[in-house]
Structure 1
Amino acid sequence: MSLTAVAHLNFTGQAREALEFYRSVFGGQATIVTYGDFGMPAALPDAGKVVFGQVTADNGFSVMAYDVPGTDGPATPAAPTTRRENGTTITKEPFFLSVRGATVEEVSPVWKGLAEGATVIEEFGPAPWAPAFGMLADRFGVTWIIDVAAGYQG
């Protein structure tokens, strides 16, 4: 048997925009299905929101997302709670999404794409433990770690 873990992001009305943004950064195909597509009457406020969404790319990237019904969030997310101090990550967030590649050239375009409209927590560049590392909270408030595998076998 083979298992795959895929992050499933919950939004309050921004799932379509987020999925389209992630597809533009990572490539691949986006699947977006609305509550209306599943039969919710078009007159209801949530009918146009995403009940199932996924981006899957040939490079191995995959993420899922939906809009929590009955919610309408702010157009811009709250400021990230994660920060770096003296080489340490301080956070109250329950998770980060990590994208790891084999070379700086492979992950640099991902960093550049996600950084548009993001809050940079730690600039992308060489780190003591990896050829490149960076952390940011994207325009949707999702915190990402982008790095290059260094072969560390802890």
Structure 2
Amino acid sequence: MTVITTPHLNFRGNARAALEFYHSVFGGQLIALTNEDTYSVEIPEEAQQIKFGQVVGENGFQVMAYDVPSSVEYDQGEKSLFVSVRSDSAEEITELWGKLTQGSTIIADLAPSQFSPAYGMLKDAFGVVWVLDVAVAYDQS
């Protein structure tokens, strides 16, 4: 049996733009089904909003997203979650960082830290906070 944990991000009307941006960064397959596609239009103005969306990269990256209907209360919050992207390659993390920083606010520059050869944090243009780092083995002794 295999278990996969995938962040499912909630947006208010801009899930498609977010998914397209993440696809441009991570590559892979983009799926974006609208309320109209899934026959679940409650409010005509929201017919083209995303009911189910995901990006699945060939490198193992996965994220899901949808647009919270205006009939449902929604507050993204300031730091409701962090999406962590880890690799064993500083080169890969640096490349992804360069793409994710476009339109983002840097919280912590990508740089060596006490626990990683490369660690950085940013908030993208969609309000999602990303943490990127090089994963290293932790010595518990």
Structure 2 residues without counterparts, runs of 5 or longer: none
Distance 2:15 2:30 in 1: 11
CA contact (8 A) 1:36 1:42 kept: no
Q: How many residue pairs end up in the alignment? A: 136
Q: Kindly provide the CA deviation profile for residues 72-130 of structure 1, in whole angstroms up to 9, marking residues without a partner as x.
A: xxxxxx9x94xxxxxxxxxxx23211001112101111101110011100000111211
CA contact (8 A) 1:15 1:65 kept: yes
Distance 2:91 2:68 in 1: 36
Aligned alpha-carbon RMSD (Å): 1.9
- 4+ residue runs over 4 A deviation: 40-43
Distance 2:41 2:88 in 1: 47
Q: Does 1:106 align with 2:92?
A: yes
The match for 1:68 is: 68
Distance 1:35 1:52 in 2: 8
TM-score normalised over the length of structure 2: 0.89
Q: Specify which of 111, 116, 119 is matched with residue 105 of structure 2.
A: 119
The equivalences for 1:1-154 within 5 A come to 1-40=1-40, 44-70=44-70, 81=78, 93-154=79-140
Distance 2:101 2:34 in 1: 28
Same amino acid, percent of matched pairs = 46
